[in-house]
Structure 1
């Protein structure tokens, strides 16, 4: 079973380490968050996300335990600089207030990455790879928003040098836990385009083939352009423009396979992360995304959020987060959600991105009637959820987040 495989790969390697076997070239990394929370109504914590929005502002607004454990093993290093590696990752996701039994309803254990690669000077130091992997993922941390994410199972070549530039190509069939039908996808990426001092541009083209096994499917494509400015206010700034048609409306990943070429999406994203002083850091996100679809099925999504952090000592911060999401559908009322969190935090350092962090949080949210009407039954914003017919509510709890 896949769940047994995903546990067995890292566990077997750790057992080998404990037994003193050769661990030359072994790298171990991971990410994790875990906590417990409740709501102002006395029930379990229920998280706030606007129906139709592809993300939520996550501080004090995550209702699951999630862990990733990754091992990267160097198998061979030649005298000419050729390097062969294998990579494996196990992940665990479990909703709060569920028993720790890994089923489709209570939790999931899987193997999101299992791939091998060879890097060689004979290929201009490019890397040829094959398998299932997280591929060139771009995300905004405060929303866990993977706006550019061509991950999947396939083969590719990374960072082939063309003068000062780097060219990459990947052929994949996107492989997400919820996706039943898959289409062939070709991703071309050009990086290393220096635009100014400490600034560079990355360009991407995704071409998605028609899936013959899916009735009514179409082909599609998308373009992405991202400018990164290092050193901005002691951190960095990202500015992103994306456009897609047909299944390319997923922009960072494959969208609905039955979407016709008359369906189009564009997105503009701005996200600075700052560390102005050793004590004061933070991140901001501003997004506008518009989808045009036949029969007035399109919509426009607006999002703005900010998470400032101030460290009073080496190990104590106060972190707050505000997020606003709004969706204007072509037909129907405008949906709105505002969410605010305050979180006294114990940390291993003063900087905004220092982890681990242990947070005590309080979250308050308000939403309008159109958002309530569009919400799935039983979710936080619906009238059958924890907060009933009210259009406001709050959660509180404790969360640990770490990476290594």
Structure 2
């Protein structure tokens, strides 16, 4: 028998045989030191052997790589070409091809966002919550999410990157999401499971490397939300969102300080109470321009929906089917939407960031945030919006994140309707320990809404405010965007009595949720990676 194979058994037998002796007479200090020195020498020998084996393996991989690609292997962890803002063309064969049998994990990554929480009201009943719970929320007016979220939501993105032998990179992305307000552990009946993205992208194209204009270009097709959408996280508010199914090109560089994106996508208007709502589509052509290294952004959108003339089957007095929106008026077939934004990489000279944007929309473009998603809008609909927000440190222990959103729209669904609202939101964080901070959020919203009876809504004017305090644990304090966060919270909110009468279908005015002041308590987890 192989003597090497007998070594473990021999050592075990010696150990068993020596046990009684050791129990009877413990070894001396000199004996212990001698044994320790022997074990140290053996460990050093094994480490030397392992290091030698590793050198041999690296040499073998280097030789294999040269045989396959004709080039030396890239240093371990060298992925600078994948994360640079304007990546240089990758080598003819990436590091993932250096082994004869690449792992399925090569080029695979995933990201996720999730939140889950529950709210109890002052009567020990189910709490009310939504960042859009006010009357102004019906036309996009958010109030702040801290202490108002009652749902469980998860979004998971899976990504796989692959390289061709000429260096072209292809990426496939799939995003799945689900959200429910049911707090049970099994909520399949209430599930809103959805595939939000399913698209492929090509970049570092070998055919484009001789062109200064297209060298960094990225081609994509499929279902996705635009790469350059951005949002105010503490409001749960997309500043602008272009999403649907189509195709486009990113990062065409017209000059050193001017690059453009272009895309065409389609989407439907959702549930319009018709038999063919899935066939009633809007088509959105987008031109996104970036100047001064991306600080200035000019977005232009054109929306067409010729199928909007076969929407709601409403009969006129003579019994003829006519095209009408839910209020009985002719909906728009087209629209325009424009945004001018400034992305500041600091907070007016301080650490942090600041963004501001102004919008104008006409016709189907009067839905400012989710472009091309509202088929009820009239041709004469107009909307203007201003957005400004940022975040910074006040000092070593306090952080602040202010936000302002204001909008005026008119002739949206009924000629003469008028919607005006403004939201001020302030989130503060006081860092008290390495893993603990106190988070505060104050929101105020004023509104003057005259829907002219659309969807049985009444004209109202008033304001709303809320204050939330949230003891928060997280891996490390110091940044608003470090997650996960585990929060307890208490929220107090109140609003003008007139707002209770805006609609019978919203939260305001419901039993246990009327003006005069409402307390709600809750717990929540939020994470992303």
TM-score range, shorter chain: 0.7 to 0.9
Q: How does 1:210-229 map to 2 (within 5 A)?
A: 210-212=305-307, 213-214=310-311, 215=323, 216-229=331-344
Structure 1 gap ranges (5+)? 1-19
Q: How does 1:3-402 map to 2 (within 5 A)?
A: 22-47=104-129, 49-53=133-137, 54=140, 55-79=142-166, 81-97=167-183, 100-103=186-189, 106-121=190-205, 122=208, 123-135=214-226, 136-164=228-256, 165-174=258-267, 180=277, 181-194=280-293, 200-212=295-307, 213-214=310-311, 215=323, 216-232=331-347, 233-252=350-369, 253-293=371-411, 295-330=415-450, 332-350=459-477, 351-377=479-505, 379-382=506-509, 384-387=510-513, 389-402=514-527
- The structure-2 alpha-carbon separation of the partners of 1:375 and 1:58, relative to structure 1 and needing over 3 Å to count, comes to farther
Report the Cα offset of residue 75 of structure 1: 2.4
Aligned to 2:319: none
Report the Cα offset of residue 287 of structure 1: 1.5
Q: Secondary structure at the match of 2:465?
A: strand
Q: CA contact under 8 A between 2:267 and 2:373: conserved in structure 1?
A: no
Instruction: Give aligned pairs, total.
Output: 375
RMSD: 2.1
Q: Structure 2-normalised TM-score? A: 0.67
Q: CA contact under 8 A between 1:290 and 1:298: conserved in structure 2?
A: yes
Q: Secondary structure at the match of 1:183?
A: strand
Report the Cα offset of residue 298 of structure 1: 1.5
- The structure-2 alpha-carbon separation of the partners of 1:385 and 1:131, relative to structure 1 and needing over 3 Å to count, comes to farther
Report the Cα offset of residue 255 of structure 1: 4.8
- The structure-2 alpha-carbon separation of the partners of 1:307 and 1:191, relative to structure 1 and needing over 3 Å to count, comes to same
Partners of 2:198 and 2:105 in 1: how far apart? Answer: 19
Q: CA contact under 8 A between 1:381 and 1:391: conserved in structure 2?
A: no
- Mean Cα displacement is larger for which, 357-366 or 251-260? 251-260
Q: Per-residue CA shift, 1:244-266, capped at 9, x if unaligned?
A: 00010112312532423321100
Partners of 1:65 and 1:211 in 2: how far apart? Answer: 38
Report the Cα offset of residue 120 of structure 1: 3.0
Report the Cα offset of residue 99 of structure 1: 6.5
Partners of 1:77 and 1:281 in 2: how far apart? Answer: 46
Q: CA contact under 8 A between 1:218 and 1:259: conserved in structure 2?
A: no
Q: Secondary structure at the match of 1:370?
A: helix
Report the Cα offset of residue 355 of structure 1: 0.8
Higher-Rg member (1/2): 2
Greater share of strand: 1
- The structure-2 alpha-carbon separation of the partners of 1:78 and 1:166, relative to structure 1 and needing over 3 Å to count, comes to farther
- Mean Cα displacement is larger for which, 317-326 or 43-52? 43-52
Structure 2 gap ranges (5+)? 1-101, 209-213, 312-322, 324-330, 453-458
Aligned to 1:16: none
